[in-house]
Structure 1
Amino acid sequence: MALSGRTGPPHGPAFTPHDAELRAAARHVARRRFLTVTAAAAALAFTTNLPARGAFAAPRLDTARLADDPFTLGVASGDPLPDSVLLWTRLAPVPFAPDGGLGQQRVEVSWEVALDEYFAVVVQRGTALALPEYGHSVRVDVRGLAPGSRYHYRFRTGAWISPAGRTRTAPPAGDDTSSLRLAAVACQAYHDGYYTAHRHLAQEDVDVVFHLGDYLYEYAVDSAGGARGYTDVVLPDVFNRETTTLTDYRMRYSLYKSDPDLRDVHAAHPFVVTWDDHETENNYAGAADENGSDPAQFLARRAAAYRAYWENQPLRADQLPQGPDAQLFRRLHWGTLAQFDLLDTRQYRSDQAYGDTSHVPGPESDDPARTLTGDAQERWLLDGWGASTALWNVMPQQVCFSQRRMDLNAEAKVSMDAWDGYRASRGRLVAGAKAAGVGNWLVLTGDVHVAYAFDIKDDFDDPGSATLGTELTCSSVASGRDGSARPANWDTYMRANPHLRFYDGRRGYVRVELGRETARADYRVVPVVTTPGAAVSTAASFVTKAGSPGLTPV
């Protein structure tokens, strides 16, 4: 994450594997130091515990013997298509046990999709297996659904029935749908506070939620839950260490998904997810971690983190990692109203210039060879813009895209972890958007634990240059603990960045309504997260007109 939003522990000592699981994975790469990253990925593919088949498959559990509720981690849906949506759950009758209380047994789970909340009109049903090799997660890609429709779903195993979830499909391809309501969230450090923003978002009337990263934090969580300050709950010591292994990451997702507000918001809306850094490790860049560890060693950790992320999110099989590699960037459509080009700005990026803090741009950061997306993802994005027929081209991604000068000096510092540290890479996207004639460009951003609204300029150093699009940065759900409407650097940032139209330091989310004529953004905030139950309010609202980029306050 960027320096201005950093609230976690400082850089610790160099990473050392703490158990046999990580050491075994790292040895596959470390013993051949000459391997390229690609070859390392191939080696690691054999260390991620793929499901066994035939006589070697895990035995099946007699579900009649399940004495405790296995649906403690809730349900979720994601990546809606016109005829399909992905349904997810993960079985864990003992959620804080390494195996979830199910050992190494396969568990048969049935599922059903209905038109009504009472499941009187079931339109599809089936069964799936929860495999121990995938942490007993279940994902069902339900196909053959009606476009532009709302559905209810649930799972069952033994005598236990999961909570019901609500989801929906996208409109038909080519349909001139008139509106879409979405929300963007990011950065939910469990140890920094309650998920009050999620509780309110679960009640919002939105079609889809975009989670822009830092769903999970790798930092230790003490027995009191950090800032939550539990007095009637004592968390196990297993959480009071940094996550490094597959077991660590799986259990940390169990902790996060034990939060009722997170479970409720997943059950209420389909999610479209992408990661940032903390799902693996703070400020990592490609195969480089923040401590300068052996890349082979870090890739073993990355493989574990990526695998656990896939297991615990409503993602399709296309996103299943192969060792330390996973294609998370992908494209979704909402009729002809919107094209969503979802980016991954961590896996392929060049290492941060001048370290991963703030610095004045220079030859190292401005090297044209440096990239935030990698060449393949950059070409995919530019080609997608060229072929787009959508009215709004929306780019959900992680770190601040617009220039963000941090002081009033002639040569101001900027974040080397954001697009400011990769100005040539940003320049190629700006040029590509102009060449493709992307007239209604909307960037959704997380990472920094504050809310921003930017006009995207053709030349950020010239306030009078053309406005090419809009960037909406959602605040954090909890990271940074309680915030304030005007952070200490508010005046400096507003003066140093004329294209910055709004800045608020409270926790919350941004709600966006896309229409045929305008897009409206409402910044929804809560005053505190270190105590539960705060009310939500709208801090500011803006509109941008189709065909006329630039934000106007409402």
Structure 2
Amino acid sequence: MALPGRTGRRPAPALALTAHDTELRTAARHVSRRRFLTVTAAAAALAFGTNLPTRGAFAAPRLDAARITEDPFTLGVASGDPLPDSVLLWTRLAPAPFQPDGGMGQQQVEVAWEVALDDSFALVVRGGTVVAHPEYAHSVRADVRGLDPGRPYYYRFRTGAWISPTGRTRTAPAAGEDVTRLRLAAVACQAYHDGYYTVHRQLAREDVDVVFHLGDYLYEYAVNSAGGARNYTDRVLPSVFNRETTTLADYRMRYALYKSDPDLRAAHAAPPFVVTWDDHETENNYAAEHDENGSDPALFLARRAAAYRAYWENQPLRAGQLPDGPDAQLFRRLNWGTLAQFDVLDTRQYRSDQAYGDVTHVPGPESDDPARSLTGDAQERWLLDGWAASGALWNVMPQQVCFSQRALDLNAQAKLSMDAWDGYRANRGRLVAGAKAAGVENWLVLTGDVHVAYAFDIKEDFGDAGSATLGTELTCTSVTSGRDGAEHPANWDTLMRANPHLRHYDGRRGYLRVELNRENARADFRTVPAVTTPGAAVTTAASFVTEAGAPGLRPV
């Protein structure tokens, strides 16, 4: 979502790059305009984007871990993408996290990991070692196999004399198991410079099985020495953060800044996360190879390759999500027994450029062109095929931008956001028709991006309030983005009147908690009153239920 002053496509490419952008220029030179015609060709040409660890005589030298004199686990631990027999464990070695190399230099380091049934590690059930490579910013991931389905585990890492914090994770239930209950949470949009991570502190205390992060994990904007709205008086952030991220080193250090926050680390160390990106992990409102400046696409693809690489390095993602230059396979499917199927989308990498200059606009021939897509053809087919084959009671679609129609005024032809599904109505229409054709009775869309909490009934025809309700959309508000917010934003009355399928609208910060069972889904909108000062309490602003087999929200 664009922040104030950053809306719309800006005219023109005169992009001034400073000395630290040499890496970006070098990578972009490898992408000729002719070869740029396919992103795949561009990916193959980006040297730094495909700089993988080498073996043998050309491998980086091995560091004796006993020589590490400062705690290398400053960025915490995380787990992700739980399967019935496996979970992905993550950490990153960074004794000096605000330095470009994290303080680890250019040497390989061996890291041990272990998984136990108890937090004292008396009952260790799995263990092994992995190598932290400098080419991957010394990020560490262990794809642990052979675990029992549907149970909690504890994990930690060790290198030299140092032991990481302990994390808690869990595996998914066995395939085909008739699970009776799942509790999940959803978060999005956590601009560091807009406030404290009180939401994450509260989330870490929740009893949930899995957390979905729906995008804008970081923001590319400059962060001043006081941490923006955090207004630090007890520390001074390095000047390296006081510029927009463009290079691989920039993005790596920005993740280090975000993960230096103890509340975010606490949230990651509790349940496993399932992550997907939106725009700010790379650049505001980008669409495929188009940035908001109208820059040379080859230059932007080099930046996108850097952003995607740093994202993978800093998230609990498996090897299958490792980018190839500016390409990454992020959309994926997870299951929770027969209770839920999760189809995690990527609505940035493949989308057509936003219509009408990426501003709010009345829909017209440009936005309604059937060839326009938010998902791209391959992801759309994957999603529709997955619904047709699904045996789950609940089909959950975690994704980024508002799916339901959101009229922004009371005019007969209202303006809509061209950056959301309203700017891609043909693509949305195909999914609505596909869900109906597949017999998806319990369709739940989880959304981020907009920095407010919404609850929508998904209509077969958004232009007809009396048309069938086919599903439910729940939009989590932001963790910090937009600062404190207000319960009723200035346009609250307008949006509630203009959108009869909109059941809830709250502009404060918080997270979404959802419990799925065999009878219904209950959604609790959890809210904190402020994030510009730390330590606020969390309350439930509103709760809704949708019954299995009977789509439509009712307050509880």
Is 1:404 the counterpart of 2:374? The answer is: no
1:24 matched residue in structure 2? 26
Question: Shift of the alpha carbon at 1:10?
Answer: 6.1
2:101 matched residue in structure 1? 99
Question: One-letter code of the match for 1:514?
Answer: L
- Structure 2 regions of 5+ residues with no counterpart? none
Contact kept in structure 1, 2:35 and 2:41, CA below 8 Å:
no
* Deviation string, structure 1 residues 419-450 (Cα, Å, up to 9, x no partner): 00000000000000010000000000000000
Contact kept in structure 2, 1:7 and 1:480, CA below 8 Å:
no
Question: Shift of the alpha carbon at 1:356?
Answer: 1.4
2:229 matched residue in structure 1? 227
Distance in 1 of aligned mates of 2:55 and 2:90: 23
Is 1:509 the counterpart of 2:517? The answer is: no
Contact kept in structure 2, 1:407 and 1:413, CA below 8 Å:
yes
2:451 matched residue in structure 1? 449
2:521 matched residue in structure 1? 519
2:485 matched residue in structure 1? 483
Question: Shift of the alpha carbon at 1:37?
Answer: 2.5
Question: Shift of the alpha carbon at 1:34?
Answer: 6.1
Contact kept in structure 2, 1:353 and 1:421, CA below 8 Å:
yes
Q: 2:210 aligns with which of 208, 211, 228?
A: 208
Distance in 1 of aligned mates of 2:378 and 2:235: 47
1:309 matched residue in structure 2? 311
Distance in 1 of aligned mates of 2:376 and 2:146: 35
Contact kept in structure 2, 1:7 and 1:479, CA below 8 Å:
no
Is 1:431 the counterpart of 2:433? The answer is: yes
Question: Shift of the alpha carbon at 1:47?
Answer: 4.3
Question: Shift of the alpha carbon at 1:39?
Answer: 1.3
SS of match in other structure, 1:354: helix
SS of match in other structure, 2:120: coil
SS of match in other structure, 1:355: helix
Question: Shift of the alpha carbon at 1:63?
Answer: 1.1
Distance in 2 of aligned mates of 1:397 and 1:331: 12
* Deviation string, structure 1 residues 9-68 (Cα, Å, up to 9, x no partner): 567784444322111111101475664322112212664421122111111111111110
2:464 matched residue in structure 1? 462
Distance in 2 of aligned mates of 1:17 and 1:399: 31
Question: Shift of the alpha carbon at 1:255?
Answer: 0.2
Kindly tell me: are residues 369 and 35 of structure 1, through their superposed partners in 2, closer, same or farther at Cα, counting changes over 3 Å? closer
Contact kept in structure 1, 2:184 and 2:209, CA below 8 Å:
yes
Question: Shift of the alpha carbon at 1:308?
Answer: 0.3
1:108 matched residue in structure 2? 110
* Deviation string, structure 1 residues 170-190 (Cα, Å, up to 9, x no partner): 000000010000000000000
SS of match in other structure, 2:233: coil
- Report % sequence identity: 82
1:84 matched residue in structure 2? 86
Contact kept in structure 1, 2:39 and 2:327, CA below 8 Å:
no
1:255 matched residue in structure 2? 257
2:199 matched residue in structure 1? 197
2:67 matched residue in structure 1? 65
Contact kept in structure 2, 1:150 and 1:167, CA below 8 Å:
yes
Kindly tell me: are residues 221 and 9 of structure 1, through their superposed partners in 2, closer, same or farther at Cα, counting changes over 3 Å? farther
Distance in 2 of aligned mates of 1:297 and 1:128: 34
Distance in 1 of aligned mates of 2:245 and 2:36: 27
2:168 matched residue in structure 1? 166
Kindly tell me: are residues 108 and 405 of structure 1, through their superposed partners in 2, closer, same or farther at Cα, counting changes over 3 Å? same
Distance in 2 of aligned mates of 1:453 and 1:411: 23
Kindly tell me: are residues 35 and 427 of structure 1, through their superposed partners in 2, closer, same or farther at Cα, counting changes over 3 Å? closer
> Which stretch shows the higher mean deviation, 281-290 or 7-16?
7-16
* Deviation string, structure 1 residues 257-276 (Cα, Å, up to 9, x no partner): 00000000000110000000
Contact kept in structure 1, 2:36 and 2:42, CA below 8 Å:
no
Question: One-letter code of the match for 2:230?
Answer: R
1:532 matched residue in structure 2? 534
1:294 matched residue in structure 2? 296
* Deviation string, structure 1 residues 287-341 (Cα, Å, up to 9, x no partner): 0001111111100000000000000000000000000000100000000000000
Question: One-letter code of the match for 2:136?
Answer: Y
Distance in 2 of aligned mates of 1:10 and 1:464: 34
Distance in 1 of aligned mates of 2:402 and 2:268: 26
Is 1:359 the counterpart of 2:361? The answer is: yes
1:420 matched residue in structure 2? 422
SS of match in other structure, 1:290: coil
SS of match in other structure, 1:153: strand
Contact kept in structure 1, 2:225 and 2:236, CA below 8 Å:
yes
2:270 matched residue in structure 1? 268
Distance in 1 of aligned mates of 2:465 and 2:49: 52
Distance in 2 of aligned mates of 1:69 and 1:451: 39
SS of match in other structure, 1:268: coil
Kindly tell me: are residues 31 and 350 of structure 1, through their superposed partners in 2, closer, same or farther at Cα, counting changes over 3 Å? closer
Distance in 2 of aligned mates of 1:374 and 1:33: 20
SS of match in other structure, 1:313: coil
Distance in 1 of aligned mates of 2:544 and 2:129: 46
Distance in 1 of aligned mates of 2:49 and 2:458: 44
